[in-house]
Amino acid sequence: MKATAIEKICSKFPGIACREVLNYVEMTVQPEQLEETLSRLKLYPELNFGLLLDITGIDYLEYPVAQDCRFAVVYTIRNWRDNMLVQVKVPVPDPDKGVPTCTHLWSSANWAEREVYDQYGINFIGHPDLRRILNHWQFKGHPLRKDYDIFKGQVCYDSYSMENEIKNRLLANGVDETTMKDINTEIMFLNLGPSHPATHGAIRIFTALDGESILANVNEIGYLHRGFEKTAENRTYNQVIPLTDRLNYCSAMMNNIAYVKAVESWLGIEITERCKFMRVVMSEFFRVQDHLVCIAANLVDMGGLTNYWYLYNEKEASYDLISRLTGARLTSSFTRIGGMYRDFYDGWEHDMEVQLKAIEKGVSDSLALVLKNRIVHDRTQGTCKLSAETALSYGFTGPCLRASGVPFDLRKDNPYYNYESFDFNVPVGSTGDIYDRIMVRFEEIFESIKIIRQAMKHIPDGPIFVKDHNAVLPPKSEVYNNIEGLANHFKLIFEGVKVPSGEWYDSFEAANGELGFHFVADGSGKPYKLKVRPPCFYIMGGFHEMVEGEMIADAVINLGSINIIGGELDR
Amino acid sequence: MSLTLLNVIFAVVVAIAFAALNAAYLVWAERRGAGRIQRRPGPNINGPFGLFQPPLDGLKLMAKQLTIPGGADKILFVAAPVLSMFPAIMSFVTIPFSEMIVAHNMNVGLLMIFAFASSGSMALLFAGWSSRNKYAMMSAVRSVSQAVAYEIPMLITAITIVLMTGTMDLMEIVRQQGPSILHWNIFPLLTNSHNLLMPFSFLIFFTCTLAETNRAPFDLGEAESELVAGFHIEYGSMGFGLFFMAEYANIVIGSCLTTILFLGGWHPPLPFLGFIPGVVWFLLKIYILIATFIWIRWTFPRTTIYGLLNLSWKILIPISLFNLLLTAGLLKVF
Amino acid sequence: MSAELVLSSVIFFGLAVIIPVIMLLTAVFGPRSGGVAKNDAYESGIKHVVGMADQKFSVKFYLLAILFLIFDIEAVFMYPWAVSLRELGMFGFLEMVVFILLLLTGLIYILKKGVLNWR
């Protein structure tokens, strides 16, 4: 972000403390100023912050520096057109009273505020449907508060009928049950999921049906919630890496890279050129894997089972390559702060080239089955459309946003790891229907392969670790042979990487969209708070917008086309 | 008299055995074929080429529990899978495999097969309704609306054959299609009506057969991505096994009927090939059709319910009505 | 005893005895465990479901059933006509042309009314 942009933002808000963090602006406002600040950010044409990325709470109970209020809420908002990012931080004097909602400005605030309420118990005044989202509805307490003991388990198993929610949604959609009674029919309330073949992972899609048409839809998530954020607060920075594997498990290493990139950006570590290229190669390779899984599963939902094997065979072979490199097929945990776990093995270029060719063949075979297939066109074109405005309002990022016609890609707009020097295109859809979402992913596979080929051509030799032994483990020879190396090793292993205290947000273009990490560091070796901004969560928040009015079979393929990954959705 | 009796009993037993064996080994063929198409081996562990897989699957199904859901209508629930097998086996009785091999020929054989074919959807409706399960219920409604929608073009297309042959006796229909490929009803050159639209009739009839037998791309009744397993979702063990067998038996019936009506039944394609017995030609033709069924299933994705109904009501029914008018007109004019 | 009678008795024996026996075999060989949760109807693992399965279904499907009744019966009417077209002569042919055209008009009317427009 350019300095002029920062000045532009600050000049619009006189009297509000603005400061520059990394490459964005952080504003601290008082609760009574919040509503006006947010609406200005959204509605002023020259600011136009249309994409609410994330809302998170912070509990300062155990923070070493004393704060005015125990709780704070942070809004992360982006203007994708001018590449401006702003964070608005508001202290919350009384969590039960809370802060005003911003659901009228951004639809994505609905689920985001529910999550803050669920995890921190902060109320949002005027929220239409404030209830738990990730934790079970019978859960007591708010787990991300610092006074909630991590070992305090609760057993909840009763399922929730969601009758009121769906009835409210029916009313909101203007469906009158009495007219249905007049013609002597009833609305069928049907659950798809959590234990259903169409829900990849465990999501509950609750629909009200008139025959086959969906009149109303509400969704329940959290079936795979395992407390990523709470666990991360009790691990050192490097120990969090294996946890990130389990976020989007289809592209595990992208999460690793996104996480260490976020930590490194605060530490100010400039990683070596070879490491940058390695990360580009691996993240693009995993982007291909993620898209292969998504398209394969989507076409299976459509009944085209043969595509599954054409795409999945190549994915399985790619996993063999990945396991040769990292030692694990799925959960690679391959990155470290300041570098990678190890360098490429000898002859990887050949293996990679063979694999890329195989992927190209598999994808082309599948495209041959799909591209001119009338049934596929009839089913996907014009179904479950989402306009660009609605998609932005719901906080969509990544391929799903690009399918709606918004050419926003962090690799182009906010390049990192020399992405600006690669030659690649960002495929964009036109209508935002299922067909566009599938085709954007197909195109991105070819673009990613292009990037990998370029990176393989230009990858330099050299070390993969920076020479900073406050962050990176010294080589084993030094550990065994001199006292300084041993001391570094000891300190890094026992205490973790010491990260200076502060708060920052950093993001990465993962396979599903913008994967962001919001950190609060207190100077120790463990993150004081770590909030993930998972792309799926917000995409799922807009699911009902896409499927209402469509058929039940369309809802199923729509769920496949937006690539919901339970691990990332529920954390 | 006693010879006729033996003949009849023998033929009926053969018909039942044929239906059951076919059902079992078509599953094997389907899985091997799918494996072939999808670049994977398919079942290959049990026996040579996995040939023991179907009987072992049957045994496994028999050793499973037949659970009846608490709210279910018990009698209908148990009756439904048994009912689903009825039409398949009843239809075999009147199908002529060759000039000699037919259990019982009737002069309204065509009508009888259609009657039984449409009663098959009753079993699906019973199964779906008695399970007291929303997916099963939706699937039953879908299956029935699909079956009835495709029965109309199927019936109307078959009328063109009746017009041309002037009979509903299946053996008589086949006899009129000899001796060579040019006399088959699908090729209108040497048949008695010269209706050049007969290939279209064949396509309509074949599409309807796909839909009537609930095969992909028309397998909406058991669309596993949204309705999990459809009408047989609550069935385990042999309840499921019977539905499964009925599905494949219906495919065989559908192929037999298509062969009899359009592809010359037991007649060889060229007269000098007549030394090969008729039943061989008949079986060859039906297995080629079944292979096409399998090929189509693993190539196309599933349609949606509105796409399916639109295809029938907006395209197939008007075309088949026009086709009928044209055939009758040609018969009258020439 | 005529062959027909034997045939029908054999068929009925086959259908009414053999197939139910196959079903019964399961009851003999299969396990017989039970339980409330096991015998529940499946709805994706949700215990508190809203609404019953045996409810009044959407009216669209009933419309289809009525349409089917009309067209199916008309199609069956055509079978005897088809068999005896040769004897009926030109008059019989023209009668049926009128009948089929009426049917087609009905079909076009139905489609124009939007019976099948579900989306």
Total domain count, chain B: 1
In angstroms, the CA A147 to CA A165 distance is 31
pLDDT tens for residues A30-74? Answer: 888 888 888 888 888 777 888 888 899 898 888 888 888 888 999
User: Does residue C58 form part of some domain?
Assistant: yes
Q: Which of B1, B2, B8 to mutate to test the interface with C (most CBs of C within 10 A)?
A: B8
CB-CB neighbors (< 8 A) of C4 in chain B:
104
**Single-letter residue type at A27:** M
pLDDT band at B8 (very low <50, low <70, confident <90, very high): low
User: Does residue C48 form part of some domain?
Assistant: yes
Tokens at residue A444, please?
């991105």
Nearest to B39 among A300, A313, A373 (CB): A313
pLDDT of residue C1: 47
Tokens at residue A253, please?
């290493």
- Asked if residue B217 has a cis previous peptide bond (ω within 30° of 0), the answer is yes
**Single-letter residue type at A518:** H
Facing residues of A89 across strands? Answer: A28, A74
Nearest to A196 among C44, C58, C119 (CB): C44
Task: Give the per-residue SS3 of B199-225.
Answer: HHHHHHHHHHHHHHCCCCCCCHHHCHH
Assigned CATH topology for domain A235-570: Cytochrome-c3 Hydrogenase; chain B (1.10.645)
Q: Three-state DSSP class for C86? A: helix
Q: Three-state DSSP class for A488? A: helix
Percent of chain A with pLDDT over 90: 10
In angstroms, the CA A248 to CA B82 distance is 47
Tokens at residue B43, please?
């079942």
Instruction: Looking at the complex, report in whole angstroms how far the Cα of residue B128 sits from the nearest Cα belonging to chain C.
Output: 10
β-pairing, A335-336 vs A339-340, is: antiparallel
Closest CA to A366 of A321, A426, A305: A305
pLDDT band at A288 (very low <50, low <70, confident <90, very high): very high
In angstroms, the CA A432 to CA A423 distance is 25
Contact B68 C39 (CB under 8 A): yes
Residue C23 is part of a domain; what is its CATH number? 1.20.58.1610
**Single-letter residue type at C55:** Q
pLDDT tens for residues A293-339? Answer: 999 988 888 888 888 888 888 888 889 888 988 888 888 888 888 88
Instruction: Looking at the complex, report in whole angstroms how far the Cα of residue B312 sits from the nearest Cα belonging to chain C.
Output: 11
pLDDT of residue A449: 92
Q: Which of B144, B304, B309, B310 to mutate to test the interface with A (most CBs of A within 10 A)?
A: B304
pLDDT tens for residues B247-262? Answer: 888 888 889 889 988 8
Task: Give the per-residue SS3 of A127-155.
Answer: CCCCCCCCCCCCCCCCCCCCCCCCCCCCC
pLDDT band at B278 (very low <50, low <70, confident <90, very high): confident
CATH architecture under which domain A3-125 falls: 2-Layer Sandwich (3.30)
Q: In what side-by-side order are the strands of the sheet with A84-92?
A: A17-21, A24-28, A84-92, A71-79, A51-59
- The packing angle between helices C59-83 and C85-113, to 10°, is 160
Mean per-residue pLDDT for A198-220?
86
| Domain boundaries, position B102 | 68-333
**Single-letter residue type at A492:** L
CB-CB neighbors (< 8 A) of B85 in chain C:
15, 19
A278-A280-A284 Cα angle (round to 5): 120
In angstroms, the first-to-last Cα distance of chain B is 45
pTM of the complete model: 0.86
pLDDT band at A359 (very low <50, low <70, confident <90, very high): very high
Q: Which of B7, B10, B16 to mutate to test the interface with C (most CBs of C within 10 A)?
A: B16
pLDDT tens for residues A158-175? Answer: 888 888 888 888 888 877
| Domain boundaries, position C96 | 3-113
Total domain count, chain C: 1
Which CA distances in Å does A18 have to A21, C52, C83? 10, 57, 91
More confident call, C6 vs A415: A415
Tokens at residue B235, please?
């069935």
pLDDT band at A446 (very low <50, low <70, confident <90, very high): very high
pLDDT tens for residues A339-356? Answer: 888 888 888 888 899 999
Instruction: Looking at the complex, report in whole angstroms how far the Cα of residue C88 sits from the nearest Cα belonging to chain B.
Output: 10
Question: Alpha helix locations (H) across chain B?
Answer: 2-37, 53-62, 74-93, 109-130, 134-165, 170-175, 198-212, 224-227, 237-262, 278-297, 305-310, 317-333
H/E stretch holding A248 reads none
Phi, psi of B315 (to 5 degrees): -115, -60
pLDDT tens for residues C44-96? Answer: 778 777 777 777 777 778 888 888 888 888 888 888 888 887 777 788 888 88
Which CA distances in Å does A507 have to A19, A75, A84, A413, A518? 19, 14, 13, 12, 9
Contact A213 C43 (CB under 8 A): no
C15: DSSP letter: I
| Burial of residue B78 (number of CB atoms within 10 Å: 0-12, 13-18, 19+) | buried
Question: Alpha helix locations (H) across chain C?
Answer: 3-13, 19-29, 36-39, 59-83, 85-113
C26: DSSP letter: H
pLDDT of residue C119: 60
| Cβ-based neighbour number of residue C65 at 10 Å | 12
Q: What is the maximum alpha-carbon separation in chain C?
A: 70
pLDDT band at B189 (very low <50, low <70, confident <90, very high): low
Query: Under a CB-based contact definition with an 8 Å cutoff, are residues A516 and A53 in contact?
Result: yes
Nearest to A183 among C46, C55, C59 (CB): C59
C73: DSSP letter: H
Question: Alpha helix locations (H) across A268-387?
Answer: 273-301, 305-326, 348-370, 374-380
B117-B123-B127 Cα angle (round to 5): 155
Which CA distances in Å does A156 have to A5, A160, A222, A570? 49, 11, 12, 16
Phi, psi of A88 (to 5 degrees): -110, 120
User: Does residue B62 form part of some domain?
Assistant: no
Mean per-residue pLDDT for A493-499?
83
H/E stretch holding A441 reads helix A434-458
pLDDT of residue C3: 61
Contact B299 A301 (CB under 8 A): no
pLDDT tens for residues B38-82? Answer: 888 888 888 788 888 888 888 888 888 888 887 788 888 888 888
pLDDT of residue B12: 65
In angstroms, the CA A237 to CA A259 distance is 9
Mean per-residue pLDDT for A196-223?
86
pLDDT beyond 50 at B2: no
Phi, psi of A335 (to 5 degrees): -100, 160
pLDDT band at A440 (very low <50, low <70, confident <90, very high): very high
pLDDT band at B334 (very low <50, low <70, confident <90, very high): low
In angstroms, the CA A298 to CA A437 distance is 10
User: Does residue B40 form part of some domain?
Assistant: no
Which residue in this structure is represented by tokens 């959590």?
A: A194
A222: left (phi over 0), alpha (psi -120 to 50) or beta: left
User: Does residue B214 form part of some domain?
Assistant: yes
Instruction: Looking at the complex, report in whole angstroms how far the Cα of residue C109 sits from the nearest Cα belonging to chain B.
Output: 12
Mean pLDDT, all residues of chain A: 86
Instruction: Looking at the complex, report in whole angstroms how far the Cα of residue C119 sits from the nearest Cα belonging to chain A.
Output: 7
| Burial of residue A23 (number of CB atoms within 10 Å: 0-12, 13-18, 19+) | middle
Nearest to B224 among A197, A308, A555 (CB): A197
Residues with Cβ < 8 Å from A326, sequence gap 6 or more?
A253, A332, A333, A334, A341
Phi, psi of A84 (to 5 degrees): -115, 140
B117-B122-B128 Cα angle (round to 5): 135
In angstroms, the first-to-last Cα distance of chain A is 30
CB-CB neighbors (< 8 A) of C15 in chain B:
85-86, 89-90
Percent of chain B with pLDDT over 90: 0
In angstroms, the CA C49 to CA C40 distance is 11
Instruction: Looking at the complex, report in whole angstroms how far the Cα of residue C42 sits from the nearest Cα belonging to chain A.
Output: 10
Query: Does A159 touch chain C if contact means CB atoms closer than 8 Å?
Result: yes
Q: Three-state DSSP class for B181? A: helix
Query: Under a CB-based contact definition with an 8 Å cutoff, are residues A275 and A327 in contact?
Result: no
User: Does residue C44 form part of some domain?
Assistant: yes
CB-CB neighbors (< 8 A) of A163 in chain C:
50
Mean pLDDT, all residues of chain B: 82
pLDDT beyond 60 at A1: no
Mean per-residue pLDDT for A434-459?
91
Tokens at residue A435, please?
């067909």
Q: Where are the domains of chain A?
A: 3-125, 235-570
User: Does residue C118 form part of some domain?
Assistant: no
pLDDT tens for residues B87-143? Answer: 877 787 788 877 776 766 778 888 888 888 888 888 888 888 888 888 888 888 888
Tokens at residue A524, please?
């120790």
**Single-letter residue type at A477:** S
Contact A158 C51 (CB under 8 A): no
Contact C44 A189 (CB under 8 A): no
In chain B, which residue's Cα lies nearest the Cα of C71?
A: B152
β-pairing, A124-125 vs A99-100, is: parallel
Facing residues of A24 across strands? Answer: A21
In angstroms, the CA A88 to CA A71 distance is 14
